[in-house]
């Protein structure tokens, strides 16, 4: 194509876009303006998305960025899931060689679960978005759950090359560092408030009501950053790689990340990271190495130091350790104990609902009347009663978050998905490539730890589904499916040769001609 024609085409596209963009910048900064600007940015980034959509999906999965100008302010991973899956499906329709990775044992329970969710939503009020003016609400919970399931298919649309597996798994967890931006809301000037529309506060760092940071302030974003760092190091290097590689910077950095978790005061974060660490130690056979007694000795020393000084630790540290039998400050212990009693009361109130919704789940739909009741009781969080639990569905229990919204059919779907996923993760750990052994051991340990936390401590189906789907999706994508044991080749049959056979007579080629 001549250079003049190419230049004319470029100007024909760029000039109208520049004029439109200038008009948008001069218009009032309302939601519609940002929406148009977002559409324009999406169009301009189309070539980048077509080439790198799968990489961007993994890199933004744990990013704390929200699309504030869209209804409901969805997190960026939901938008990337829809875009990446749509591009992958479009690519599959025009190219027969572009196929999704095959894992029928995982696909079937997820498709069944989606059918259960959609069927329940159809019979219990539909999927309504209150942000769009609908009379019913609860649609955001449906979208979080369904896009979490679809995220598995988006992740398994392409394989991750083994040589780039560490890069992908690193970006997957390092994106969680962005959550610390929200904790700066009380420290930054008013002019920078637009930043926190993109990176919203966690809700704990600003719990002081704008009066400044006190000793009871909980930094949820900083704790999320610490947990992301711990999981990143376990996935990238493994326990043996952190402590036995000879890299002296790795153990202190791991310790710094682990300490950061305590600034949030979340017991569930500590339990999750501790469980992943213990399970990965077992999968890496740390108990069979010479360094294992050193770990035991270090653990004994740490416990010995914590017990007498536990009541002198910062407030959030003591709150994080409240599940252990330690002598803590009465204020910190009471703060943790009150939430424990509140959750037990919620479970007690919600348990009678299970038989009621056994065959047809309650779903997530809320009418306007129920929304008004929930809003009027928004400030009575710790006063749980039967009506509040039934309306809000805030059960703070993994099993109840499955059984009540989707009944026995949802329970079957989740158990089926868990069993199939654990089997696939175990096979990939046992029979995967040796260079992927650390990543596969981490994915298996992390999935087991999350399931136990979901069942025993704390969980919510629509909030945790994307985490389960991402772990198994990464495993399938990195290992190119579900690995199976390779059958050993059959030994070759020995050929019996008789002495009289010509084969029995050795033939020697002379070195020089006669």
pLDDT, tens only, 42-77 = 677 777 888 888 999 999 999 988 888 777 788 899
Residues in CB range of 281: below 8 A, 6 or more apart: 239, 287, 295
Residue 383 has pLDDT above 50, yes or no: no
By 3-state DSSP, what share of the chain in percent is helix, strand and coil, each rounded to 5? 65, 0, 30
Contact of 205 with 221, CB cutoff 8 Å: yes
Helix H or strand E encompassing 375: helix 368-376
pLDDT at 60: 92
Give per-residue pLDDT as tens, 142-184.
889 999 999 999 999 999 998 999 999 999 999 999 988 888 8
* Cβ(269)–Cβ(257) below 8 Å: no
Cβ neighbours of 276 (radius 10 Å): 25
Helix locations, 211-291, DSSP H: 220-236, 238-243, 250-261, 267-283
Compute the average pLDDT of residues 444-472: 92
The C-alpha atoms of residue 232 and residue 254 are separated, in whole angstroms, by 10
Q: Which residue has the higher pLDDT, 486 or 514?
A: 486
206-261 pLDDT tens trace: 444 444 566 677 888 899 999 999 999 999 999 999 988 888 899 999 999 999 99
Please say whether the beta carbons of 398 and 343 come within 8 A.
no
Residue 469 has pLDDT above 60, yes or no: yes
Distance CA 411, CA 405 (A): 10
Q: What is the DSSP string of 346-371?
A: HHHHHTTHHHHTSSS---S-B-HHHH
Mean per-residue pLDDT for 94-122? 90
- Give exposure, 395-425, as e/b (b: 16+ Cβ within 10 Å): bbbbbbbbbbbbbbbbbbbbebbbebbeebb
SS (H, E, C) 93-146: HHCCCCCCCCCHHHHHHHHHHHHHHHHHHHHCCCCCCHHHCCCCECHHHHHHHH
């Amino acid at each position: 194509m001549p250079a003049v024609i190419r230049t004319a085409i470029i100007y024909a596209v760029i000039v109208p876009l520049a004029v439109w963009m200038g008009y948008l910048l001069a218009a009032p900064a309302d939601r519609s303006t940002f929406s148009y600007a977002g559409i324009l940015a999406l169009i301009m980034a189309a070539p980048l998305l077509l080439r790198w959509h799968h990489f961007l999906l993994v890199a933004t999965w744990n990013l704390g960025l929200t699309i504030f100008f869209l209804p409901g302010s969805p997190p960026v991973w939901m938008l990337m899931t829809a875009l990446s899956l749509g591009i992958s499906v479009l690519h599959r329709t025009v190219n027969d060689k572009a196929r999704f990775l095959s894992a029928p044992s995982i696909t079937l329970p997820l498709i069944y679960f989606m059918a259960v969710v959609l069927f329940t939503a159809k019979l219990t009020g539909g999927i309504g978005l209150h942000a769009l003016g609908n009379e019913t609400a609860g649609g955001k919970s449906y979208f979080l759950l369904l896009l979490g399931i679809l995220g598995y298919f988006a992740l398994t649309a392409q394989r991750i090359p083994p040589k780039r597996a560490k890069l992908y798994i690193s970006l997957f967890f390092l994106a969680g560092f962005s959550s610390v931006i929200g904790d700066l809301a009380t420290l930054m000037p008013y002019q920078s408030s637009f930043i926190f529309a993109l990176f919203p506060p966690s809700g704990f760092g600003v719990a002081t009501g704008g009066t400044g940071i006190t000793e009871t302030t909980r930094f949820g974003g900083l704790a999320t950053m610490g947990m992301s760092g711990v999981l990143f190091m376990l996935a990238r290097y493994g326990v043996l790689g952190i402590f036995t590689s000879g890299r002296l910077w790795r153990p202190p950095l791991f310790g710094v990340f682990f300490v950061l978790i305590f600034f949030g005061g979340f017991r569930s974060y500590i339990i999750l990271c501790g469980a992943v660490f213990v399970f990965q130690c077992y999968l890496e056979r740390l108990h069979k190495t010479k360094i294992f007694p050193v770990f035991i000795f270090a653990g004994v020393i740490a416990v010995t130091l914590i017990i007498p000084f536990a009541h002198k630790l910062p407030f959030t540290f003591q709150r994080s350790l409240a599940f252990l039998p330690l002598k803590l400050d009465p204020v910190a212990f009471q703060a943790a104990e009150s939430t424990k009693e509140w959750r037990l009361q919620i479970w007690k109130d919600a348990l009678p609902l299970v038989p009621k919704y056994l065959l047809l789940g309650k779903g997530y739909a809320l009418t306007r009347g129920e929304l008004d009741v929930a809003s009027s009781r928004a400030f009575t969080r710790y006063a749980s009663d039967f009506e509040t639990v039934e309306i809000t569905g805030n059960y703070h229990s993994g099993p109840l978050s499955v059984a009540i919204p989707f009944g026995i059919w949802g329970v079957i779907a989740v158990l089926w998905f868990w069993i199939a996923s654990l089997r696939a993760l175990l096979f990939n750990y046992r029979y995967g490539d040796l260079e992927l052994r650390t990543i596969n051991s981490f994915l298996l340990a992390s999935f087991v730890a999350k399931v136990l936390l979901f069942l025993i401590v704390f969980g919510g189906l629509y909030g945790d589904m994307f985490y389960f789907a991402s772990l198994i999706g990464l495993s399938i994508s990195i290992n190119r499916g579900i690995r199976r044991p390779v059958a050993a080749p059959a030994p070759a049959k020995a050929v019996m040769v008789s002495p009289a056979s010509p084969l029995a007579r050795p033939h020697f080629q002379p070195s020089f001609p006669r």
